[in-house]
Amino acid sequence: MSDFVRVCGTDDVSPGAALAVEVQDTPLAIVHSDGEYFAIYDECSHAEVPLSEGDIEDTTLECWLHGSRFDLRTGKPTGPPATRPVPVYETRVEGGDVLVRIHD
């Protein structure tokens, strides 16, 4: 079982924005939306482009290339053309740090 690791500071991700980071060789998009922080695999399951460059609306991240949308809580696609989910990772905030647990 992996421990939580610090990925960034809370001030590093503006509300409504995403930050691309890499943790244990895993590319992540850290998303700050509605006061919450989410961690989602930073690659669209449809077109293999960075999701961190997409648009955020509530708890949905939209891929900039073809418009696939993903639920930040589950990784499941909520809009085509993507049909496969992307991994999401447990996050928590401690002080001014965003921590993520990477699955084994």
What domain range includes position 23?
Answer: 4-101
The CB-side HSE value for 22 (13 A sphere, CA atoms) comes to 4
- Confidence band, pLDDT 50/70/90 cuts, at residue 74: very high
CB 20 within 8 A of CB 29: yes
Model confidence over 13-47: pLDDT tens digits? 999 999 999 998 999 999 999 899 999 999 999 99
Query: pTM above 0.75?
Result: yes
Q: By percentage, how much of the chain surpasses pLDDT 90?
A: 90
- Confidence band, pLDDT 50/70/90 cuts, at residue 2: low
Could you tell me the CATH number of the domain that includes residue 97?
2.102.10.10
Give me the pLDDT at residue 1, please.
46
